[in-house]
Structure 1
Amino acid sequence: MELALVAAIAFLAGFVQGLSGFGSALVAMPLLLQFLPARLATPFCILMGLVITSMLSLDLKQHLDWKKIGPIFLGCLPGIALGTYFLKTVDNSVIKKLLGLILISYSLFQLTVHVKPKKLSWVWGIIAGFLTGTIGAAFSAGGPPTIIYTSLNDWNKDEIKATLSGFFLLTGILIAIAHAAAGITTKEVLILFATGLLPVIIGTKLGSRAYSYLSHRSYLKLIYSLLLVMGLLLEFQ
Structure 2
Amino acid sequence: MPETEAHVLWQALQFEGLIWLITAALLAGFVRGFSGFGSALIFMPLAGQFLPPLWCVMTLVAMDIFGPVPNLPRAYRDGRPMMILWMILGMGLALPLGLLVLGQMDTLLFRYLVSGIALSAPLALIAGFRIRAAFLTPKVLFGVGVCGGFLGGISGMPGPPVIILHMASRLAPAIIRANTMIYLFLFDLSLLLSMALSGDLVALPVVIGLVLLVPSMLGNIAGGYIFNPEKETFYRWVAYIVTLAAAVGSLPLWD
TM-score interval (norm. to shorter): 0.7 to 0.9
Structure 2 counterpart of 1:172, one-letter code: D
2:125 is aligned, of 107, 124, 134, to 107
1:52 is matched with which residue?
Answer: 67
What RMSD in Å do the two structures reach over aligned CA positions? 3.7
Q: Deviations over 1:13-62 (max 9, x none)?
A: 21121122122223223333444444543312111111123333223221
2:231 is aligned, of 194, 209, 215, to 215
1:143 is matched with which residue?
Answer: 159
2:132 is matched with which residue?
Answer: 118
2:82 is matched with which residue?
Answer: 67
Q: Distance in 2 between matches of 1:236 and 1:36?
A: 13
Deviation at 1:159, TM superposition (A): 0.6
2:150 is aligned, of 120, 134, 140, to 134
TM-score by length of 2: 0.72
Structure 2 counterpart of 1:57, one-letter code: L
Q: Distance in 1 between matches of 2:93 and 2:63?
A: 25
Q: Distance in 2 between matches of 1:98 and 1:16?
A: 19
2:32 is matched with which residue?
Answer: 17
Conserved? CA contact 1:22–1:164, under 8 Å: yes
Q: Map residues 156-195 of structure 1 onto 2, 5 A cutoff.
A: 156-181=172-197, 182-186=199-203, 188-195=204-211
Conserved? CA contact 1:13–1:200, under 8 Å: yes
Deviation at 1:170, TM superposition (A): 1.2
Q: Distance in 2 between matches of 1:214 and 1:236?
A: 38
TM-score by length of 1: 0.76
Q: Distance in 2 between matches of 1:231 and 1:11?
A: 16
Residues 1:80 and 1:189: Cα distance change in structure 2 (over 3 Å): closer
Deviation at 1:70, TM superposition (A): 1.1
1:29 is matched with which residue?
Answer: 44
Q: Deviations over 1:119-177 (max 9, x none)?
A: 12322211211111222224444321110111122211111011011111111101112
Residues 1:152 and 1:231: Cα distance change in structure 2 (over 3 Å): farther
Conserved? CA contact 2:45–2:246, under 8 Å: no
Give 5+ residue unaligned stretches, structure 2.
Answer: 1-13
- Identical pairs, percent: 22
Higher mean displacement: 3-12 or 148-157 = 3-12
Deviation at 1:109, TM superposition (A): 1.9
Give 5+ residue unaligned stretches, structure 1.
Answer: none
2:4 is matched with which residue?
Answer: none
Q: Distance in 2 between matches of 1:185 and 1:129?
A: 27
Q: Distance in 1 between matches of 2:124 and 2:169?
A: 16
Paired residue total = 232
Conserved? CA contact 2:158–2:184, under 8 Å: no
